[in-house]
Amino acid sequence: MTKPIVHIVHHVDTEGPMREPLDELFERIENTLGHALKLEPTKENLLKLQSLEFVFINNEINQLLKKLIDPKLLSFKNNWDEVDEMLNRILIPSYRNKFKDSFGKGWIYNWHLLDHVGFETNPRYRILGYGAIFNLYNDKLKNLKIEEDSLQWHFHPIPFNKAAHTSAISYMNSAHELQQVMCRRLIDSNWFPVVNRAGFHTVRPDSNWWLEQWLPFDASNQAMNNDNTGFNDNINGRFGDWRGAPDDWSLYNPDYNDWRKKGNMNRTIARCLNMNTRFRNIDGKELQKAFNLANSSGKDVYVGITNHDFREMSIEMVSFYEVLKQVASENKTVDYSFSDTITAFRKCIGFSNEEISKYKINFDIELRNNTLNVSINNGDLFGPQPFIGILTKDGRYLTDNFNFGEIGNKQFYYTFDFLTVPIQNVKTIAVASNDKYGNSCIKRIDV
């Protein structure tokens, strides 16, 4: 009899290098704790803080401070060379195979690639620009001939102060940049996302509804018992609010009005916990819950784990693997596998290989005079309409809604004229969609 499998899915929020100058760090500590440090932002003062047991009278705040200034959490990759050095070490087969799953396979990464766009200031020296980090990773994986890893979606909404390091939560406030990232990746790289990792772990109604149009899978749930983190920057579920969502590693479909509740939306949400951050971390107890669920249900279970490429990932992987091996050795009736996210979602939802290929989404696109006609000829779209990307001859990237055909005839239309873009001004048209199985179809016309 085959055993159920716990799928270990490593989601990397892939944001490139960052630096944190000391004055920025001290300011972040004060904002996060909601208390002034009353110290000059110097290296000596940081070392002093790290060596002290107590800084504040309140012990709870001391504990939070200790987590914030843990040297492991402050060791950032400062530039692309440092990230690249890490990648050259951790991407190669001999490194991946130091970690073995129940089937003798090595580690797999899922890279959720971020474009830092729409920002005006950049105090943490992040790599800015459309496709900048995406292309670095795409080239890297191609050069190293890596095929087992998955490239997926991550987006940071743009804050009012337009600073590249400030967290924000509104997709609608960032609609232009959001559509630009989608359009440019589709047209320039022939790429369309399947799996979301929410920026700042945060979903709100606008992102809940936007994702529902395009992406069938979402590994963003960070529900935890007693999720009272105490940090001033996180009160009232301000970021990563998953209170009330399933915390037993089961998958769920979200509700229209509240992404945390089980509901009738089509997207499937998986749970994904942090590796060695200041809160919501994966540990042996959480892993045991996953093995319990696999054991009691007899079905595969999705365990998402996440970290960033701006820290030394190997340290977090090694310490996670130690715990995993221990828990797995105590649960011999369950196997575990390092999995890419799409495979893991398919297995845990229970789609058969036969239906995944039989109903694989396929459509044709055809330009008749100035009207684009999209005909679905196999399977179904995941959402209500395909995504269209248009590149004009003067270099603009555009997207729009389709015109829908008669109900049920699986046709979509787009007219190029003076109300949209005259067809003689169009250079490239690309159309993409996923289906509910996580298959993708992309078609393009160079006019």
Q: Which of residues 310-349 bind Zn ion (CB under 5 A)?
A: none
- Scanning residues 77 to 136, which ones bind Zn ion (CB under 5 A)? none
CB of 300 to Zn ion, least distance (A): 27
C-alpha triplet 336, 357, 2: angle, nearest 5°? 30
CB-wise, 217 or 382, nearer to Zn ion?
217
Least distance CB 15 / Zn ion (angstroms): 6
Separation of alpha carbons 442 and 412, rounded Å: 15
Our CB check for Zn ion shows the closer of 52 and 74 to be 74
Q: Binding mask 173-202 vs Zn ion (x if CB under 5 A, - otherwise)? A: --------------------------x---
Q: Shortest Cβ distance from residue 360 to Zn ion (Å)?
A: 31
* Least distance between Zn ion and beta carbon 240 (Å): 11
User: DSSP 3-state assignment of 155?
Assistant: strand
Instruction: Decide whether 199 or 386 has the Cβ nearer to Zn ion.
Output: 199
Q: How far is the CB of 120 from Zn ion (least distance, A)?
A: 19
Q: Provide, rounded to whole angstroms, the least separation between the CB of residue 427 and Zn ion.
A: 32
Of the candidates 383, 444, 14, 1, the one whose C-alpha atom is nearest the C-alpha of residue 187 is 444
As given in the structure block, the two tokens for residue 2 are 């085959």
Interacting residues with Zn ion between 4 and 43 (CB under 5 A): 13
Residue type at 254? Answer: P
First vs last C-alpha separation in the chain: 55
CB 414 within 8 A of CB 426: no
Q: How far is the CB of 164 from Zn ion (least distance, A)?
A: 11
Rounded to 5°, angle at Cα 197 from 233 and 92: 115
Site size for Zn ion (CB under 5 A) = 2
Beta bridge partners of 411: 375
Distance in angstroms (rounded) separating the CA atoms of residues 434 and 442: 9
Cα–Cα distance measured from residue 136 to residue 309, given in angstroms and rounded to the nearest whole number = 13
CB of 81 to Zn ion, least distance (A): 22
- As measured in angstroms, the least distance from the Cβ of 198 to Zn ion is 8
Nearest Cα to Cα of residue 433 among 382, 364, 389, 371: 382
Residue 13, SS3 per DSSP: strand
Q: Which residue is it, tokens 């399977």?
A: 379
**Which amino acid, one-letter code, is at 429?**
I
Of the pair 65, 136, the CB lying nearest Zn ion is at 136
Of 13 and 286, nearer to Zn ion (C-beta) is 13
Q: Which helix (H) or strand (E) holds 63?
A: helix 59-68
Query: Which of 159/199 has CB closer to Zn ion?
Result: 199
The residue nearest Zn ion at its CB is: 13
Smallest distance from the beta carbon of 111 to Zn ion, in angstroms?
Answer: 12
Minimum gap (Å) between residue 438 Cβ and Zn ion: 22
Question: DSSP assignment, residue 252?
Answer: B
Q: Is there binding between residue 309 and Zn ion (CB under 5 A)?
A: no
Tokens standing for 165? Answer: 């390091």
Listing DSSP states for 201-223 in one string gives G---HHHHHHHHHH-SEEEEE--
Nearer to Zn ion, 307 or 337 (CB): 307
Nearer to Zn ion, 240 or 389 (CB): 240
The identity of residue 3, as a single letter, is K
- Amino acid 341 reads T
Tell me whether residue 165 or residue 267 sits nearer to Zn ion (CB atom): 165
3-state secondary structure 118-135: CCCECCCCCCECCCHHHH
13 versus 335: smaller Cβ distance to Zn ion: 13
With a CB cutoff of 8 Å and minimum separation 6, the contacts of 88 are none
Of the two residues 99 and 137, which places its CB atom closer to Zn ion in the complex?
137
Which residue, 202 or 337, has its beta carbon nearer to Zn ion?
202
Applying the rule CB under 5 A, the residues between 278 and 297 that interact with Zn ion are none
Minimal distance, residue 199 CB to Zn ion, in Å = 5
Q: Can you tell me which residue has the tokens 């603009």?
A: 396
Tell which positions 199-258 bind Zn ion, by CB under 5 A.
Answer: 199
Distance CA 405, CA 277 (A): 49
* Residue ranges in contact with Zn ion by CB under 5 A: 13, 199
